[in-house]
């Protein structure tokens, strides 16, 4: 298949591009605007492949997107292009509405026009996979419940509200216009090539340098952690085999409090590169909580496991150890990003 991946230079998008090309042998057309969170290095290993092409475009440019779909003769779209950092959405919500809502609308319209003009045999095979987040469901109590595909939407932040809106648009285009849509909602991702502002890479990098490890509130907020390579496998399965008009929740079944995650990172770093001054747990600092901070996310992945046979391969312990090793080996990837794009106060903020 020839698959257009939007946001393919981002964290999850680049993992998907690598999986589609290297593991599955699909042709990939990567479309990315190359904003602050996109990195050329995350897909550098694909540049020489005849199965991979990159186009620097904005998904809000509907005409350009439709022309590219036609020129590349694509078989489907996996849409990941999005603004995705909650702190940034609180500071500047406009960019999230522009990209996540207007951008998704423009891409749906371009895909609809392209799909309408395909011959019947090609039209039946075309798919549009909209990739979303579990944050659209709001929060869960600490001790009860899981998000299912039937959980009512209750977004808490400008980011999650913009993703909720894009989810509704995608399913509306399926019901109203017959655009062949599948949708997925994932839990918190982690792994190689994760941008340095996110919780796990931020704690790894600060820990390596002996800096403070800032944690929101008391660190009691719970997240379900999913390794990005497990997520990439799941996305490919949903895109190729998911039922049209259906959504699939993708989670790692690895719930941890934010404090437990930071403590685990500190302990693993202590084993690899001990500090002269003692344990890195002493670097943990509690900072004021962010507005609208959801208490707990947890996904029931029974549907994708039962229907498509997907299972997460990584436990949190194996995945976290692998991730820390990657950041230690690949300082030449993250050091320029931090030096070029971040002031000290931004890197000092907690996340998740």
Q: pLDDT tens across 294-303, in order?
A: 899 999 999 9
85: pLDDT confidence band, cut at 50, 70 and 90? confident
In 254-323, at which residue ranges do the beta strands (DSSP E only) sit? 255-257, 284-287
Which of 135, 197, 255, 294 is flagged as catalytic?
135
Under a CB-based contact definition with an 8 Å cutoff, are residues 155 and 164 in contact? Answer: yes
Nearest to 326 by CA among 194, 211, 207: 194
* Cβ atoms within 10 Å, residue 221: 22
**Candidate from 105-109, 141-145, 171-175, 188-192 with smallest mean pLDDT:** 141-145
Q: How far apart are CA 188 and CA 230, in angstroms?
A: 12
Sheet containing 188-190: which strands, arranged edge to edge? 188-190, 222-227, 255-257
Q: Which residue has the higher pLDDT, 231 or 89?
A: 231
Rounded to the nearest integer, the mean pLDDT of the chain is 94
Sign of CA dihedral 248, 250, 253, 255: negative
How far CA 262 is from CA of 22, 228, 328, 337, in Å, comes to: 32, 19, 17, 22
Q: Is pLDDT above 50 for 234?
A: yes
pLDDT, position 37 = 83
Residue 307's contacts (CB-CB under 8 Å, 6 or more residues apart) are 242, 243, 248
pLDDT above 70 coverage of the chain, percent:
97
Quick one: average pLDDT of 124-150? 96
All domains in the chain, ordered by first residue: 2-190+225-254+298-313 (3.40.50.720)
pLDDT, position 347 = 43
The answer to whether 135 is a known catalytic residue is yes
Q: Is pLDDT above 70 for 344?
A: no
Which of 32, 58, 87, 159 is flagged as catalytic?
159
351: pLDDT confidence band, cut at 50, 70 and 90? low
337: pLDDT confidence band, cut at 50, 70 and 90? confident
pLDDT, position 86 = 85
Torsion angles phi and psi, residue 25, rounded to 5: 75, 25
Whole-structure pTM value:
0.95
Angle made by CA atoms 87, 42, 12, in degrees to the nearest 5: 50
Which of 134, 139, 263, 300 is flagged as catalytic?
134
Quick one: average pLDDT of 233-248? 98
């Amino acid at each position: 298949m020839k698959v257009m991946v939007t946001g393919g230079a981002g964290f999850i998008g680049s993992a998907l591009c690598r999986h589609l090309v290297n593991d599955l042998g699909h042709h990939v057309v990567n479309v990315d605007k190359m904003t602050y969170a996109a990195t050329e290095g995350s897909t550098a290993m694909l540049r020489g492949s005849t199965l991979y092409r990159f186009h620097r475009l904005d998904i809000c440019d509907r005409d350009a997107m439709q022309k590219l779909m036609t020129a590349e003769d694509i078989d489907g779209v996996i849409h990941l292009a999005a603004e995705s950092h909650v702190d940034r959405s609180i500071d500047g919500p406009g960019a999230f509405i522009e990209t996540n809502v207007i951008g998704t609308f423009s891409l749906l319209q371009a895909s609809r026009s392209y799909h309408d003009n395909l011959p019947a045999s090609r039209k039946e095979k075309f798919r549009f996979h909209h990739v979303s987040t579990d944050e659209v469901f709001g929060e869960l109590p600490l001790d009860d419940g899981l998000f299912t595909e039937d959980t009512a939407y209750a977004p808490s932040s400008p980011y999650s509200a913009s993703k909720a809106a894009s989810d509704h648009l995608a399913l509306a285009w399926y019901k109203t216009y017959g655009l062949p849509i599948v949708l997925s909602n994932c839990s918190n991702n982690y792994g190689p090539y994760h941008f340095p502002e996110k919780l796990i890479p931020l704690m790894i990098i600060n820990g390596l340098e002996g800096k403070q490890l800032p944690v929101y509130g008391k660190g009691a907020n719970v997240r379900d952690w999913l390794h990005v390579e497990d997520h990439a496998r799941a996305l490919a399965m949903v895109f190729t085999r998911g039922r049209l008009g259906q959504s699939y929740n993708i989670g790692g079944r690895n719930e941890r409090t934010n404090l437990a995650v930071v403590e685990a990172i500190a302990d693993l770093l202590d084993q690899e590169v001990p500090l002269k001054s003692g344990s890195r747990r002493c670097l943990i600092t509690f900072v004021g909580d962010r507005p609208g901070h959801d208490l707990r996310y947890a996904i029931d992945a029974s549907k994708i496991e039962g229907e498509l046979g997907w299972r997460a391969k990584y436990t949190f312990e194996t995945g976290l150890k692998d991730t820390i090793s990657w950041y230690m080996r690949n300082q030449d990837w993250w050091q320029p990003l931090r030096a070029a794009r971040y002031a000290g106060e931004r890197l000092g903020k907690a996340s998740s």
